Amino acid sequence: MNSTLKYYEQNAQEFIQNTLDKEMSLHYQKFFKGLKPQAHILDAGCGSGRDSLFFKSQGYRVTAMDASKKMCDFATRLLSQEVLHLSFEQMNFTKQFDAIWASASLLHVPKQEILAILNKFEQALKRDGTLYASFKMGEEEFIKEGRFFNAYTQESFTKLIEQSPFKIEECYLLEDTRPDKAGEYWLNALLKLV
């Protein structure tokens, strides 16, 4: 088990408590703009299941997955549906989803591996599929509290996406809303299949 996954297994309850009520309405509004009613969404790295629960409440079909067994167990109870215990590398979907939601999950993928994961996302999406992803703002790769993170600026993220099967629809920065994270910024991106 890698250190990031170990962190989530050992700190699942604390992580869930700290993120379950996080304000996400702006991101939801932007994500929903391009979706048809009852679109099928893959929540890739669903954590507590917070976002999947909201998507379901809006009438969307949701498949949720996470690499952490404890997160899957909690989210399964929250959503009243099975959450798939899967890592990005284990994904093998083919043209099943209208959209993928990867909120604060791709940021745990090493930069040398991220294009391979984006290609898996392409395989999972239907034509004109949408992808939302968020990363910490910066340039470096680092380990904090046992978790691996990558970070991008708008410039470095644009260069990454130019090598991928996606194009950027919108890229925006927002400050972290958690009190202990003041001054930290997130890079948020809405992408479309080319």
Helix (H) or strand (E) holding 188: strand 185-193
- Does position 80 have pLDDT exceeding 70, yes or no? yes
pLDDT score at 178: 67
Query: In Å, how far are 130, 162, 172 from 55, measured between CA atoms?
Result: 15, 29, 22
Number of domains in the chain: 1
Span 85-125, pLDDT tens digits: 999 999 999 999 999 999 999 999 999 999 999 999 999 99
Span 165-184, pLDDT tens digits: 999 999 999 887 766 777 78
Query: Who has greater pLDDT, 9 or 86?
Result: 86
Residue 36 maps to which CATH number? 3.40.50.150
Once rounded to an integer, what is the mean pLDDT over residues 126-148? Answer: 94
pLDDT score at 179: 67
Q: How confident is the model at residue 143 (pLDDT cuts 50, 70, 90)?
A: very high
Determine the structural domain holding residue 90 and report its residue range: 3-18+25-193
Structure tokens at 158: 């644009």
CB atoms within 10 A of CB 111: 14
pLDDT score at 2: 85
Span 31-77, pLDDT tens digits: 999 899 999 999 999 999 999 999 999 999 999 999 999 999 999 99
